[in-house]
Amino acid sequence: MRQINFGLIFAFGLITVFFTLENTAPTTVHIVPKVEYTMPLAGLLLLVGGIGAVTAWIFAAWTGLLTGVQLTSKASEFEAQQVRIQELETDLDRYRSTVETQLGLLPATAVSSGDIDHQDEPANSV
C-alpha cells in the first residue's frame, strides 16, 4: 500500500511540475471589487491547492476532535451503567436475603400427605 501511495504522490508532483512549466502566463484574480492580483496561473493553482489542503486538514482535525469527545462521553455513560448495575445487584442480594430471612421466620404449616388422606376417610370401628 505504501508503494501505491508513493506512486500517486510522485505522479501528482510530476504532473504539477509539468503544468507549472507550461503555464507561466500571468492571470488576473479579482477577489472583491477593485481588489485584484496578477500572478502566474501555476502559482495561482498551487496557492488554491494549498488553501484547500489546509482547509481539509482543519476539517479532519475537527472531525477527529468530535469523534474523541463522543467516545469519551460513551465511555463515561458505560461506566455509569456499570455502577448502576452493581448497585442493582447489591439491592437484589439484600432483598433476596431479607426474603429468605422472613421465610425462615414463618411457622412450619406443611402437613404430610399421609395426614391429609386419613382426615378425609371416616373412622371405621371394629
Instruction: Give tens-digit pLDDT for 44-81.
Output: 888 888 999 999 999 999 999 999 888 888 888 888 89
Residue 86 confidence class, pLDDT cut points 50, 70, 90: very high
Name the β-bridge partners of 40.
26
pLDDT of residue 56: 94
Nearest to 19 by CA among 52, 43, 49: 43
Q: What percent of the chain has pLDDT over 70?
A: 85
Grid coordinates in use for 42?
A: 501555476
CA distance 43 to 51: 12
pLDDT of residue 31: 83
Name the β-bridge partners of 32.
35
**Residues 44, 31 contacting (CB under 8 angstroms):** no
Average pLDDT of the chain is 84
3-state secondary structure of 108: coil
